Amino acid sequence: MSQSFDDISAQLKRRHRKSSRLKWISMGALGLAGLFLVLFFADMLSKGLPAFQQAYIEVELDYNEDAQRMGRAALDPEVSRLVSRSFERLIPGMLRDDPGLIGTTEQRWVLADSEVDQYLKGHRSRLSEDERETVDELVESGRLELQFNTTFFTEGDSKMPERAGILAAAVGTVMTMLVTLAIAFPIGVMTAVYLEEFAPDNRFTQLIEININNLAAIPSILFGLLGLAIFINFFGVPRSSALVGGMTLALMTLPVIIIATRTALRSVPDSIRHAAFGVGCSRWQVVRDHVLPLATPGIMTGSIIGLAQAMGETAPLIIIGMVAFIPDVGASFTNASTVLPAQIFTWAGEPERAFVEKTAGGILVLLSILIALNAAAVVLRKKFERRW
Amino acid sequence: MNMQVAERERLSMSSQHAGQPVTRNDSANHELSIRVRDLNLWYGQSQALKNINLDIFQKNVTALIGPSGCGKSTFLRCLNRMNDLIPGVRTEGLVEMDGRDVNAAKMDEVALRRRVGMVFQKPNPFPKSIFENVAYAPRMHDMVSRKAEQDELVEQALRDAGLWNEVKDKLQQPGTSLSGGQQQRLCIARAIAVKPDVILMDEPTSALDPISTATIEDLMDKLKKQFTIVTVTHNMQQAARVADYTAFFHLGEVIEYNDTRMMFSNPHTKKAEDYITGRYG
Amino acid sequence: MQTNQLLAIFSGVLLLLGLVAFFLGRAKAARVRASGSAMSAQPEQYAWFAVLATAGPAFAVSSVGAFIMLLLGADIPTFLLLAGSLVAAALGLMVGVSQVKPAFHARQAIEKVIQWILIAAALISIFTTFGILFSIIFEALRFFRMHSFWEFITGTVWNPGASFLAAAGRAEEGASAAQFGSVPLFAGTFMITAIAMLVAIPVGLLSAIYMSEFAPQRVRTLAKPTLEVLAGIPTVVYGFFAAITVAPIIVDVAGFFGLDSSFNNAVAPGVVMGVMIIPFISSLSDDVINSVPDSMRQGSLALGMTKGETIRDVVIPAALPGIISASLLAVSRALGETMIVVMAAGMRPNLTANPLEDMTTVTVRIVAALTGDLEFESAETLSAFALGLVLFIVTLSLNLVSVLMIRRFREKYRVNNL
């Protein structure tokens, strides 16, 4: 006779325990990944948020004769150590542009030195004891404070942390992405249309397909080698330029766009194609007038995701020299430029403590853009999602 | 007219004892295996089973027939709580086995399934060797301690399933390498190797060719000496051939439960008659 | 003349000719139609054909010319090239307009051209692969002409040291001969990859198991995109995090156990790389586990198996080809990962089994070789391509094996979404 329920249940106790152990362990694994994400963002925020504030100091500027040659002369020697040298260097130029200023004085909020900034933010600083006392007094009297750091968003790179900004890199990113999109989007969509709608299923088509999947998995640095050897050395595209960066990233983004477009095309049901063929459309007319419009949201979503990926890419750009030091904001496709991730990489290598904060600040900006792009892709997908 | 039919059906239902077949098969075993009383089941808002009362007798083949969507498979899955796996399913009522309510909170559904095995519509051998397919569960249940015992159990189960002669030379090949009918017998061997009391079969031959179907029907006839079998079938001839008792389901209700011969020769309800004579289904 | 100006003239004139072609073609087609003969295409289609007939030859001539100049080094005056292509365009215009005849199937001709354009686009991806392959092989061969292949593969000392002097023709001034033994680089790469996999495979696989087998729907819909965030973080950000936050923690923890650790230890980049790869493994494994048919699970549960046993003994073995395939792809990704190791791992080639020491990787050396102010012809610069070649071959093989495994899985369970 078979065993009773109670006998079996008693035997099962150990096995049930094992089973629930698997559940808890696997839940823990997911939790661990989530915990890492939380720690990561907490760390980045705590390091990067201070970058959006910068110490400014109110000083009395005395535009005397000496200041025409050496900006420092316009400042009270007591506080000149506390003012950013980048501002001091601007003074002779100001006086040259407007000689009427000479002999006048002016109260003005100016950028403070990064050591002052770091001291105010409670970080390690190289200020001497005396200077710290001066700073404390100035803070007390309201002549030295942390203000919103507009410089960070309006300037290019600088060797002085208080003056370094991301605008040049941001402009470089926009131009590089324009090139990337201009190349990768049409070619990617055309390739996908060919493979999905026109290509016969033969060896050649399979070769292209395997090749595209493989291309998606090739280490990005190898694309940099391609860019260096073919685009720069062979075709003579200017090194470090947004053009060569965009071309290199376009080749990397191509598989992403192709795969996304194919998925979007495949999700358009055959009944639509049959209906269009039925009213006498040619294959190209079916694709152009019926299939592509229905697949557009999917194609856009895929392209945005591909763009976001390209935007965060650094390794191939280092190889083709896009880690250049770009202090001036200028828009040209063929001049040396840099992009946000490359700017982050450059700052991460700077020895000054103040650059850690700039790096993390740059990271926050980059992450916000990427999150916004991905959110846009999600919204687009949700809004136009169609179930057939 | 319709009113009269409905009235007659209602009367015939109420005149029988709850769960008992209208007529008993005198040559069959009448020890109770599973007792079902007032079983109701909902998928979310829609009710799939309504007030089911059914007694299932030991060492008999009970067939559940009815048009598709009538709830016969859902009912079958209540007997070993496979419906628990579907989100949003809610059951009420009593399914009693061995004096215990199988839906009770204290009931361990794993223990229940060990005593109530199941064979599915489509053969689903594990992606393991033929031998492992059969040996896996007994080993996990500590039913065998030595290698020799295990070999013996596997051989016995495969013999009982009528598969031994076909596979004895290729026990290490994957179970999926067999033909559809062989795979289904492998799944039966896998189920009986655990030595359950009851084997549920959910349209076990619907995916098979006629010859494999005949083999499995013969097998059911042999297996009922050791096991209680409840089978869902789409095929009325099959029910007539293999079952001792037949329950006719319609729209989630048991319309008629009867000795199989009586059911097919002299159904008591109009609906069962219409279904059996092929007016709908 | 400047290239930019030439380009501007070229596109300006071509645009003009195109417009002329369009309106001439359409006007002629309309006239023919008005005269009462049945046309085999619409006037617009004839117009577009004329445009294509104009632009096609122009592009063909100019690109052939450009390629001859670049590939063969022939010195064709650019002005001549410009004139030639524009003449071709004009000839094409005349042919295109003359083809506006009732019997001519303009639509079919256009669609033939479109199809060829699409094929050309599809070929670009092939060209990219070959471009990568040839550019790497070509430069790598130049490297192997200077240093033996055997020494590169088996040597245990990587010391490019004075190779730039050799390139400058001052070899005798170098204190020691340059050595290019890549074993320490590969050892470092594999060490960091192994650490990454030790993090990514268990965490990724278990997360996938939880999401697909245990988690309620709500948790699942929340957890999946959250994990994907990890995959969307740029690698340069991970590199910064590894170098600034994780490495000091590793040093502190090692110090707590009385171990000496470098700030450029292999553990920090390894762990962070592992975290980066978690979503990669988890989402692929999740897809694979989900496509294991439910009938497998039910078959096991119906035998009285617990859920855990069903997962361990039935679901995972069934999904194994897919899981292995995901892991191989992950390994390939870890091997080629660059930014994290450039920022957090060491620069010193170091053959050691101690993950707390600093060590360098293939990708770090590639970056180091190509970012200095070195002469392109120097052996150190070219060594980057030799390393790239090995990296390409290894990752390509891993990818291909992985594709084959996933294809076998797909055929077994007839799922198409993988």
Q: Evaluate if residue C36 carries a pLDDT over 80.
A: no
A18 in contact with B at a CB cutoff of 8 Å? no
Query: Which residues of chain B have a CB within 8 Å of the CB of A11?
Result: 141-142
Q: Do residue B108 and residue A2 have CB atoms under 8 angstroms apart?
A: no
Q: Report chain C residues whose CB lies below 8 A from the CB of B124.
A: 293, 295-296, 298-299
Does residue A322 have a pLDDT over 90? no
Whether the CB of C162 is below 8 Å from some CB of chain A: the reply is no
pTM: 0.86
Q: Does any domain span residue B281?
A: no
* pLDDT score, position C369: 87
Sort out which chain A residues have CB atoms less than 8 A from C234's CB and list them: 311-314, 341, 366, 370
Is the CB of B195 less than 8 angstroms away from the CB of A2? yes
> Is B152 inside any structural domain?
yes
A10 close to B (CB below 8 A) = no
C304–B87: do the CB atoms touch at under 8 Å? no
pLDDT at A131 > cutoff 50: yes
**CB proximity C173 to B under 8 Å:** no
Using pLDDT thresholds of 50, 70 and 90, give the confidence band for residue A387.
Answer: low
Is the torsion defined by CA of C17, C22, C27, C28 positive or negative? positive
Q: Say whether B137 and C217 touch across the interface (CB within 8 A).
A: no
What pLDDT is attached to residue C73? 65
Nearest CA in chain B to A9: B111
Mean pLDDT, rounded, for C237-263:
92
Assembly ipTM: 0.91
Four-point Cα dihedral C33, C36, C41, C42, nearest 10: 40
Residue B138's domain is classified under what CATH number?
3.40.50.300
| pLDDT classification of C417: cutoffs 50, 70, 90 | very low
Lowest average pLDDT, out of A11-25, A321-335, B37-51, goes to: A321-335
Residues of chain A found within 8 Å of residue C289, distances taken between Cβ atoms: none
pLDDT at B1 over 60: no
**A12 touches B: beta carbon within 8 Å:** yes
> Mean pLDDT across the stretch C379-403?
91
> Which residues of B fall within a CB distance of 8 Å from A2?
115, 195-197
| Range from A122-131, B156-165, C129-138, C212-221 carrying the lowest mean pLDDT | A122-131
Ranges A275-279, C187-191, C402-406: which has the least confidence:
C402-406
pLDDT above 90 coverage of chain A, percent: 42
- Please give the average per-residue pLDDT across A204-208, as a whole number: 87
Cα of B111 to nearest chain C Cα, Å: 6
pLDDT for the residue C1: 47
For the stretch C43-61, pLDDT in tens is: 788 888 888 888 888 888 8
In a domain, B131, yes or no: yes
Chain C residues within an 8 Å CB radius of B118: 298, 302
Does the pLDDT of residue C86 top 80, yes or no?
yes
Average the pLDDT over B237-263 and give the result: 92
CB distance from A329 to chain C under 8 Å?
A: no
Out of A2, A3, A12, the one facing B108 most closely (by C-beta) is A12
Q: Which chain A positions have a beta carbon within 8 Å of B98's beta carbon?
A: 4-5
Taking only the tens place, the pLDDT of each residue in A70-96 is 878 888 877 888 888 888 888 888 888
| C-alpha span between C277 and A27 (Å, rounded) | 18
pLDDT given for residue A359 in this prediction: 94
pLDDT at position A275 over 80 = yes
Architecture of domain A167-384: Orthogonal Bundle (1.10)
State the residue range of the domain holding B74.
Answer: 2-276
Q: Would you say residue B15 has pLDDT above 70?
A: no
Of C217, C295, C306, which is closest to B120 when you measure between CB atoms? C295
Residue A1: the pLDDT is 44
Asked if the model's pLDDT at residue B236 lies above 80, the reply is: yes
In Å, how far is C236's CA from the nearest CA of chain A? Answer: 6
How near does any CA of chain B get to the CA of C220, in Å? Answer: 14
Q: Do B107 and A5 touch (CB under 8 A)?
A: yes
Strand residue runs (E) in C185-324: none
pLDDT at C3: 65
**CATH fold for the domain made of C179-413:** MetI-like fold (1.10.3720)
pLDDT at A317 over 90: yes
pLDDT at B182: 93
Of B124, B191, B200, the CB nearest to C295: B124
Least-confidence region, from A246-255, A369-378, B9-18: B9-18
pLDDT band (50, 70, 90) for residue C2: low
pLDDT level of residue C375 (50, 70, 90 thresholds): low
* Averaged pLDDT score across all residues of chain A: 88
pLDDT reported for residue A344? 94
For the ranges B54-63, B210-219, C271-280, C347-356, the lowest mean pLDDT is seen at C347-356
- Structural domain boundaries in chain C: 3-143, 179-413
Q: Does B104 touch chain A (CB under 8 A)?
A: no
- What gap in Å lies between CA A116 and CA A158, rounded to an integer? 17
Q: Mean of the pLDDT values across residues B158-176?
A: 91
Q: Would you kindly state where each structural domain of chain A is located, as residue ranges? A: 50-149, 167-384
- Residue numbers in C near A344 (CB within 8 A): 236-237, 240
Would you state the pLDDT for residue B129? 92
For the stretch B77-133, pLDDT in tens is 999 999 988 888 999 999 999 888 999 888 888 999 999 999 999 999 998 899 999
Enumerate neighbours of A (3 or more CB pairs within 8 A): B, C
Residue A179, pLDDT above cutoff 60: yes
The minimum CA-CA distance between A23 and chain B, rounded to whole Å, is 16
The confidence score (pLDDT) of residue C253 equals: 93
Give pLDDT, residue B2: 52
Q: Mark yes or no for CB contact C304/B125 under 8 Å.
A: no
Q: Which residues of B touch A9 (CB under 8 A)?
A: 108, 111
Residue C128 has pLDDT above 80, yes or no: yes
Lowest mean pLDDT among A172-176, A342-346, B156-160, B277-281: B277-281
Give residues with Cβ within 8 angstroms of C97, minimum separation 6: C21, C24, C25, C28, C50
What distance in Å separates the CA atoms of residue B56 and residue A14, rounded to the nearest whole number?
Answer: 32
* Confidence grade of residue C69 (pLDDT, cut at 50, 70, 90): confident
> What pLDDT score does B105 carry?
85
* pLDDT tens track for A138-172: 888 888 888 898 889 988 888 888 888 899 999 99
